[in-house]
Structure 1
Amino acid sequence: MYNEAAAMLLKRLEYWDHAFFCRLFARSSSQVMAKSSYWLSKSADGPLYLLLVLLLLMLDVADAWLVTQLLLLAFALELPLYLLLKNSIKRARPEQAVSLHRIVAHIIPSDTFSLPSGHTAAAFVVVTSLSLIYPACLLPLLCWGALVGLSRVMLGVHFPLDILAGMALGVLSSLAAANWLGVW
């Protein structure tokens, strides 16, 4: 009985996730939306994080070394967990999902599986880490992180629950790193 209830709950959750994905993805057909989503997604690529740290250090921003340490430790926690989860869960991307028809992503994803979203996890490592050191930046950082996650859905490479899992992974990795360093 318990297994049946859990299976029904998971089925309903998957249905909601697919339906929400389809509603969002349907709005990405315009060139403007597809290009905006592409560049928002690109803003969460790894090399830009290195550039951010270098910029903070070059400008001698207060606590730049602490931010650097926090980001390095948080990414050192996030990346192996991301790889473990992605390769253990092996959730199909929207294009390969059996229940979805005619989904063609706007980009080619960097790997096969979708859960969790690595771009979103990385973005929320940055959002959380920077917000812990510079609390006044929380709102714009949260907006950016949420838009990165949304862009991954709009590009057709992630379901909404992939984004929520990526957010949780990024936040928890940063909080664990902050706790380790005595920042939080």
Structure 2
Amino acid sequence: MRVMNPIARFDLAFSLFCLQHRFNHQVARMSRAVSHTGDGHLYAVIALVAYLLDDTLGKAFVLCGLLAFLIELPIYWTLKNSFKRRRPQEFSEQLVSFITPSDRYSLPSGHTAAGFLMATVISHYYPPLAPFAFVWAGLIGLSRILLGVHFVTDVVIGVLLGVGCAEIAINAVGV
């Protein structure tokens, strides 16, 4: 458990740095908008557009995305309910949360996992969009930290989960 102490201290220090400045309310306003793009609605729109407009790869893209989410969601819930890591505001009175999270625990970040899952699938089927997709996914992860609902390590594990599940689905679909 001593290995976790430096990580936990870093997480707490980084969250304090991100949340204790005079512009935190303005940053939270922008972060809320970015975070909202990772709620899932946009993923459905992207899949629908690909399906309707791309006769060549659209169906494979949708199938791959659905398979990736079918893999990711049970792993996400198992990890979240196994680690039961408290959210940042529960660790320190100095940390604020600018939104009410949809569940109790913080590890891993589901928004980040979903964002990087989509970015990985998008980059496989539509490589020219890869830079935009990964920047967008990175901003979703950062927004979760800036909103006070996740630590850095929650986001890092979310990245690994999302990319890993997407890669498994890409290899399974094979297109």
Q: Give me the TM-score of the superposition, normalised by structure 2.
A: 0.94
User: What is residue 44 of structure 2 aligned with on the other side?
Assistant: 50
User: What is residue 36 of structure 1 aligned with on the other side?
Assistant: 30
In structure 2, the CA distance between the partners of 1:149 and 1:28, relative to structure 1 (3 Å rule), is farther
User: What is residue 100 of structure 2 aligned with on the other side?
Assistant: 108
CA-based RMSD of the aligned residues comes to 1.5
Identity, % of aligned pairs?
39
User: What is residue 159 of structure 1 aligned with on the other side?
Assistant: 151
**Deviation sequence 1:30-68 (CA, Å, 0-9, x none):** 443111100100001112211111122233364111110
User: What is residue 83 of structure 1 aligned with on the other side?
Assistant: 77
**Structure 1: runs of 5 or more not aligned:** 1-6
User: What is residue 4 of structure 2 aligned with on the other side?
Assistant: 10
**Deviation sequence 1:105-147 (CA, Å, 0-9, x none):** 0000000000000000000110000101111211111111110
For the 8 Å contact 1:92–1:113, the answer to whether it is kept is yes
Which AA in structure 2 matches 1:19? A
For the 8 Å contact 1:128–1:174, the answer to whether it is kept is yes
Which residue of 87, 98, 105 corresponds with 1:93?
A: 87
Q: Give me the TM-score of the superposition, normalised by structure 1.
A: 0.90
In structure 2, the CA distance between the partners of 1:61 and 1:41, relative to structure 1 (3 Å rule), is farther
**Structure 2: runs of 5 or more not aligned:** none
Which residue of 115, 127, 130 corresponds with 1:135?
A: 127
Which AA in structure 2 matches 1:105? S
Q: Give the Cα–Cα distance (whole angstroms) in 2 for the partners of residues 135 and 59 of structure 1.
A: 17
- Give the number of aligned pairs: 175
For the 8 Å contact 1:28–1:34, the answer to whether it is kept is no
